[in-house]
Structure 1
C-alpha cells in the first residue's frame, strides 16, 4: 500500500492572465498550507482571503505528470480540470450563478517544489484568456 507523506509548506502562486485585447495582468499570492504526496500525485491545500469575496476560499491543487485539478470552495466555488490529452470541462460558481468553462492545457511542468501550468480558458465558444499559474512551495516551519 502506497505511503502518504504530508508536510506544512509555504506556497507562492504567481498568476499571469492575458485577456484578448487587454494588457497582461500578474497577481501574486502567498499562503501557508499543506503538501501531500499520495498515489503518485501531489496535493497542495491552502486557504485564501479575497477582498471582493465573502468568506475564505479553500483551495486544493492536485497534479501529476500530464493532468491536474484545481478545486476551490467557500467564498466561491470552482472546478478546473486539466489534461494534456484533451480539453476538459469545468465550472465557476459565484454570486452571479454558474459559468461553465473549457480548459485547453498548453503545458504542465512539475519539478522540485515548483508546479507550472499554462492553459487557454473558454466559456462557450468565447476565448476568455490565456493563463499561467506558477506554484512554488517550500517546507514551512509552523
Structure 2
C-alpha cells in the first residue's frame, strides 16, 4: 500500500455493538473523515469523533496480530487489543481515572485504501466484566 507521508484522506465508519450484563445490546454508529497513516511499518486511522458538540481525537492502530484504540479529549482511553491475552488499559473522564483490563477475543485487519479493522473484546474492572464490545472500523479513500 502506498500511503503519502502526510496520510491518505479517508471516509470512516465505526459501528460499535455493546453488550453489558443485565442490559439489552445496543449499537452506536459514527461517520467521520480522517486519515490513513503509516508509521514505522504500522497502519493507523486518525479522526475526530464529535459527540454533543465535543471533539475527541481517535487513533486506531490496526494489525493482523493486534491493535490499539486510543481516545484523547474530554474522555481519554487506551485499549490494547491482543487476542487471547489480558492487557491493562485505562479510561479517564472528568479527572477520574479507571484502570481497566482488556480481554481480547479476536482482531481482524483487511488492509488497503478500502479496508476494515474488527475487534471483539471484554472490558473488566477488577474481576467484573463491564461489557463486551464488537467494533468495526471501515474506511475508504476520499471524504464522506
The worse-fitting range, judged by mean Cα deviation, of 54-63 and 23-32 is 54-63
Gaps of 5+ in 2: none
Looking at structure 1, the residues matched to 39 and 21 of structure 2 have their Cα atoms a distance apart, in angstroms, of 38
Q: Which residue of 2 aligns with 1:59?
A: 58
Looking at structure 2, the residues matched to 66 and 42 of structure 1 have their Cα atoms a distance apart, in angstroms, of 12
Q: Which residue of 1 aligns with 2:90?
A: 91
Q: What is the TM-score with the length of structure 2 in the denominator?
A: 0.88
Confirm or deny: 8 A CA contact 1:40 1:64 kept in the other structure: no
Q: What is the TM-score with the length of structure 1 in the denominator?
A: 0.89
Q: Which of 132, 135, 140 pairs up with 1:133? A: 135
* Deviation of 1:41 (Å): 2.0
- Deviation beyond 4 Å, 4+ runs, structure 1: none
Looking at structure 2, the residues matched to 43 and 82 of structure 1 have their Cα atoms a distance apart, in angstroms, of 14
What is the RMSD computed on CA atoms of the aligned residues? 1.8
Counterparts of 1:1-142 in structure 2, within 5 Å, are 5=4, 6-51=7-52, 55-95=54-94, 97-112=96-111, 113-141=115-143
The worse-fitting range, judged by mean Cα deviation, of 78-87 and 131-140 is 78-87
Confirm or deny: 8 A CA contact 2:84 2:103 kept in the other structure: no
Gaps of 5+ in 1: none
Aligned length: 138
Looking at structure 2, the residues matched to 107 and 97 of structure 1 have their Cα atoms a distance apart, in angstroms, of 29
Looking at structure 1, the residues matched to 38 and 83 of structure 2 have their Cα atoms a distance apart, in angstroms, of 21
